[in-house]
Structure formats: C-alpha cells, structure tokens
Amino acid sequence: MACPVPFISIGSMCLEFLFSDLTFGQASVSCVSEGGSLATIRTAEELRDFFLYVNQLGIADTNFWVGGSDVQSEGIWTWPDGTLVPMGTPFWGTYGPFAQTQEPNGGTEENYLALTSIGYYFFRDVVCNAEMKAVCMYKK
Ligand SMILES: [Ca+2]
C-alpha cells in the first residue's frame, strides 16, 4: 500500500515518526501540519505491526504519543476523529511490579495515550506535559 511522503507503509497503516521531544499538544499540531493526525491503533494486528516495526528499526527504547485521549470525558477514550479507543486486553498494558492493575490507571491526572518502551508498547495513559516522540498517521 503506497503512502504519501513523508508517511511510510507499516502493515495496513501509513505512519510517520516524529523524533522530537514533544508534549501531546505539540505532537498533535505537528501531525496535522504534516497532513495527518496522531496515530490511531484500531486492531491488535495494527498494534503488533507497530511493535514489530519499532523493534526492527532498533528504536524500541523510545516512547511515542499516539492519538488517544480521555480529556473531554474522563474514562471515555477517543481517537482524533472521535471514534472510541478499544479498551482492555490486548490493547492496554499492565502496571506495577506484579502487574496488579491494568492501564489506564491515571484517572483525571493522565488523559493522553502513549506507547512506551517500558510498557512494551501496549497502551498507557500519560500526563499531557510529558515529552516524547510521536507517531502520525495519514488517513487513507
Ligand atoms: Ca484520564
């Protein structure tokens, strides 16, 4: 599947990685200016494709914003186009030394979705002013 420059084909997705340290808001604006939006991950296959690509590229020590947020309504996670983020397994990771809880676990303190190295790129809720890289998506 061909993707318009600067997006690259990963599985069924057209993605662009931004390797600047950005807040969620900055990342969101940057993706829009690239002609896309922060990435949406709708299926387990897409999450798997992302994971494999990051490992193949040797950047599996890097954290990335993607497009999910529950800032508008706590607990209701949506993508930039307003559709619902899938909840539970196998999308959201676990937290704690014995994986006692499942993400999202930050309540009103953490309203933005990231794929982090320490979380093995399962979904995780993060505070908005954290700075990390970002994954943009071109919507086909
Ligand atoms: Ca929240």
pLDDT at 28 over 70: yes
User: At which residue do the structure tokens 């995780």 appear?
Assistant: 124
Distances in Å between the alpha carbon of 35 and those of 66, 72, 88? Answer: 15, 24, 30
Which long-range contacts link 102-108 to residues 24+ away (Cβ below 8 Å)? 104/70, 104/77, 107/74, 108/74
Cβ neighbours of residue 46 under 8 Å, at least 6 residues apart?
11, 12, 13
Ligand 1 geometric centre to CA of 112 (Å): 7
Ligand 1 geometric centre to CA of 126 (Å): 8
Distances in Å between the alpha carbon of 9 and those of 5, 23, 102, 132? Answer: 10, 25, 31, 22
Ligand 1 geometric centre to CA of 37 (Å): 20
CA dihedral for 47, 48, 53, 55, sign (positive or negative): positive
Is omega for the bond preceding 6 within 30 degrees of 0, making it cis?
Answer: yes
The pLDDT value recorded for residue 109 is 97
> pLDDT digit string (tens) for 61-112?
999 999 999 999 999 999 999 999 999 999 999 998 898 999 999 999 999 9
Percentage of residues of the chain with pLDDT beyond 70: 99
The pLDDT value recorded for residue 1 is 60
Ligand 1 geometric centre to CA of 117 (Å): 20
Ligand 1 geometric centre to CA of 52 (Å): 28
Q: Which residues, in sequence order, are bridge partners of residue 133?
A: 64
